[in-house]
Amino acid sequence: MPIIEEVAAISVEEAYTTLDIQIEKLAEIVQENPEDITVLLAYAELNLRRGRYLEALQAYHRIMSIKPDVIDVHVGLSRIYLRQNMITEAFNEIVKVFQLSPADIEGRIMYDRLMDIGEPSAETQDAIRDLTVTDPEFEDLKLFRHQKELERERLEGEIAQFEKIMEEHDEEPIYEYNFEMALNRKKNIDELFKYIDSLESYLAQKALEVKPDIMPPAAEEPAEQVGEAELQGEETSEESAETSVVDEAAEEAVEEVHQVDFPTREDQPVEDDSTVIFPDDAQLPVEEEQSEIIPGEQEDEAPPAASVEGGGSIAGESEMTEVVSEETPHVEDSPSAEEIAVIEEEEVIEEPPPPEPVKEGPSEERIQFYQQVKDSITTILAALIKTKGVTVVMAVAGDGYVVDSIVNEAIDYAQIGKKISSGIEVIRHWRDGEKGRSFLYWVLEFEQGLVVVRAINSEYFLVAIAKAGANFGAMRYSMDKGKETLDEILSSAPSD
Amino acid sequence: MSDLNKILESFCKIDGVKGAFLTDKDGQLREKIIEEGIELDLLKSFLYNSTKSGLDIAPDIQKDRLNQSYLEFEDMSLTSIILANDDILTIFSSSGVNLGRIRLEIRKNKKTIESLLD
């Protein structure tokens, strides 16, 4: 397929750059060629690998508005929906895949994966029942295997690079994290090969089962039918006719249309379709690519945040709403307009807590303690600031005092520490202090960036400020990792 | 049921979501679909004040407009989005909810909600 070939060409050509650079380049090309399906498809695929699902979704829908029958679009959409745990929607996309290509291998893999996760809705089951799905050709499966072998090779290269990077950057969580993610993807690919093996066995078995029905057993053939001419490679007209019948029957058997009847799913690949996380629809664990890394075949990488505004209509939304409505959550009856009016009149907004009293700051003893532990804290902050896009990291006390910070941006961090501390005060004023209800994260997504606040303990918190496009999943991973040690260090602080 | 309420109700059909509500920029409730037992007054007040804190930080970090906030506690989370007219749509959910799904639904419905609020 020309589109796939071109996409593959792009991937190979840019295999030595970062995935981000690839995406950026493609974004520029998309701007210049907004109707070019090849470019859009490549852009969607790379965003999908990067974990930027909304961007991928938007690109796929744009392709559908131009050309509704691109199989890869529906496979891609199915993968996005699967990651969002929208199983019915994912099934619906696979139905479309099979409608377009009854022998699609990716579709078959996705179908099996989905079946392992959950049952399709009754409506989707009906659609699946009506489907005609044929087995893939051996040749197609061979090609698919080859593509995956290339993918595995690239992943192995990536893992080797990570190992080298980790040797040079010991104890930096982001590299460790990326390394783990690469290993995870490699494991998934290995599992996929088991599936391919299983599919191959199934096809071979099926071919064997079909032959006895369509070809008369050799033992039953009258010996006289095997004449001398045949032994010499010549065909009699009768034999020729027989061969023709056999070929036709074999062809029919190969193209036998059957219900979805896939081989055993015990060897089904497991993809790291973990839950998507705010604000980037990233997953935990999510991946953040490093500039040194070959990203060519990465899957499930973490996304930078980017808004998808004006994305146009999303085909299938009505379906999603419909499916969602099948669920039965416990929701109280909605109030009438009158009730709402009464509620609005009655409800009085509680005044904000009184402004923070001007604090004199920490005691000398405490400041001395902070100085003593500064090196240990700086080490943790140094690891955190290496997370891509992060420009400021701070350990802040509940009174707003910045215990330690690394600041790569011209901002008044002391002032920010105080303001965030006031915000935390509001949060804790509301519901903190009760067991099992502790505050964990406060994330503020601005037009141009992100502020992530992570509670260290009841008295301290960790703050990271990042540029737009930073990966919350990676930030969260690093912050969670540093939190325990920071807690250990700061819990020894003398009380004022 | 109003169209707005229908949209709010659709949020509540996501696994783990316990309520969705709209408040105006002064913190007054406009629409709500929320499970019983949730202290809405406190929640509303908290949202108003925490959003105010977020807005207050924006000039200092030079990141322009606050678009969205997310709060996670051990047992629940709150995802709020500031709409074009400065109203705030908030989704109240239990811990472990699929936040990506919530965000997706918010993005899908944002423009419709904004048009209904005009």
pLDDT tens, A270-304?
Answer: 333 333 333 333 333 333 333 222 223 333 333 33
Q: In terms of CA atoms, which chain B residue is nearest residue A324? A: B13
- The first and second tokens of residue A58, run together, are 């938007």
Distance CA B22, CA B5 (A): 10
Distance CA A183, CA B104 (A): 29
**Are residues A447 and B64, on separate chains, in Cβ contact within 8 Å?**
yes
Q: Is B82 helix (H, G, I), strand (E, B) or coil?
A: strand
User: With bands split at pLDDT 50, 70 and 90, how would you rate the model's confidence at A431?
Assistant: low
Tell me: pLDDT of A60 over 50. yes
* A86 close to B (CB below 8 A): yes
Enumerate the H helices of A325-467 as residue ranges: 337-346, 364-385, 413-431
Residue A351 CA from chain centroid, whole number = 42
Cα-trace Rg, chain B: 14
Average pLDDT over residues A443-456: 91
Spell out the residues 6+ positions from residue A407 whose beta carbon is closer than 8 angstroms to its own: A391, A392, A394, A413
What is the structure's pLDDT at A74?
A: 93
Average pLDDT of chain A to the nearest whole number:
67
Residue written as token pair 């993807």 = A185
A280 and A305 Cβ atoms separated by less than 8 Å: yes
User: With bands split at pLDDT 50, 70 and 90, how would you rate the model's confidence at A235?
Assistant: very low
Distance CA A472, CA A484 (A): 19
A356 and A400 Cβ atoms separated by less than 8 Å: yes
User: With bands split at pLDDT 50, 70 and 90, how would you rate the model's confidence at A63?
Assistant: very high
Average pLDDT over residues A310-333: 33
Nearest by CB to A340, from B26, B31, B70: name it: B31
Distance CA B109, CA B83 (A): 11
Percent of chain A with pLDDT over 70: 60
* Strand ranges in A196-272 using DSSP code E only, listed in sequence order: none
**Are residues A423 and B29, on separate chains, in Cβ contact within 8 Å?**
no
Contacts of B12 in chain A (CB under 8 A): 329, 331
A403 and A377 Cβ atoms separated by less than 8 Å: yes
**Are residues B31 and A325, on separate chains, in Cβ contact within 8 Å?**
no
Site from B22, B56, B57 to mutate, A interface, most A CB atoms within 10 angstroms: B57
For residue A145, count other CB atoms closer than 10 A to its CB. 17
What is the structure's pLDDT at A412?
A: 82
- Measured between CA atoms, how close is B63 to chain A, in angstroms? 4
Q: What is each CA distance from A372 to A362, A365, A369, A405, B86, in whole angstroms? A: 15, 11, 5, 15, 46
Contacts of A311 in chain B (CB under 8 A): 107
Classify each residue of B3-32 as buried b or exposed e, where b means 16 or more C-beta atoms within 10 Å of its C-beta: ebbebbbbbbbbebbbbbbbbbeebbbbbb
**Are residues A314 and B27, on separate chains, in Cβ contact within 8 Å?**
no
- A485-488: Cβ within 8 A, 24+ apart: A485/A376, A485/A380, A486/A377, A486/A380, A486/A395, A486/A456, A486/A460, A486/A462, A487/A456, A487/A457, A487/A460
Tell me: pLDDT of A316 over 50. no
Least confident of A166-170, A190-194, A446-450: A166-170
What is the structure's pLDDT at A18?
A: 56
Contacts of A408 in chain B (CB under 8 A): none
Tell me: pLDDT of A462 over 80. yes
pTM passes above 0.90 = no
Residues in chain A: 496
Average pLDDT over residues A252-272: 34
Positions of chain B with pLDDT lower than 50, given as ranges: none
* A243 close to B (CB below 8 A): no
Complex confidence, ipTM = 0.93
Average pLDDT over residues A164-186: 66
Contacts of A281 in chain B (CB under 8 A): 100, 103-104
Tell me: pLDDT of A209 over 60. yes
Tell me: pLDDT of A217 over 70. no
Contacts of A432 in chain B (CB under 8 A): 73
**pLDDT tens for each residue of A323-337:** 333 333 333 344 444
User: Which residue ranges form the domains of chain A, and what is each CATH number?
Assistant: 1-221+244-289+297-303+314-323 (1.25.40.10), 365-490 (3.30.450.30)
Site from A82, A314, A320, A331 to mutate, B interface, most B CB atoms within 10 angstroms: A331
Residue B35 CA from chain centroid, whole number = 15
Site from A322, A446, A447, A472 to mutate, B interface, most B CB atoms within 10 angstroms: A446
- Measured between CA atoms, how close is A216 to chain B, in angstroms? 57
Superfamily of domain B3-117: Dynein light chain 2a, cytoplasmic (3.30.450.30)
Least confident of A18-27, A112-121, A247-256, B104-113: A247-256
What is the structure's pLDDT at A149?
A: 84
Distance CA A243, CA A248 (A): 8
For residue A452, count other CB atoms closer than 10 A to its CB. 25
Distance CA A370, CA A405 (A): 12
- Measured between CA atoms, how close is A369 to chain B, in angstroms? 28
What is the structure's pLDDT at A223?
A: 35
* Interface A:B, Cβ pairs < 8 A: 202
**Are residues B48 and A352, on separate chains, in Cβ contact within 8 Å?**
yes
Closest by Cα among A298, A420, A243 to A49 = A298
Domain residue spans in chain B?
3-117
A89 and A81 Cβ atoms separated by less than 8 Å: yes
A105 and A74 Cβ atoms separated by less than 8 Å: no
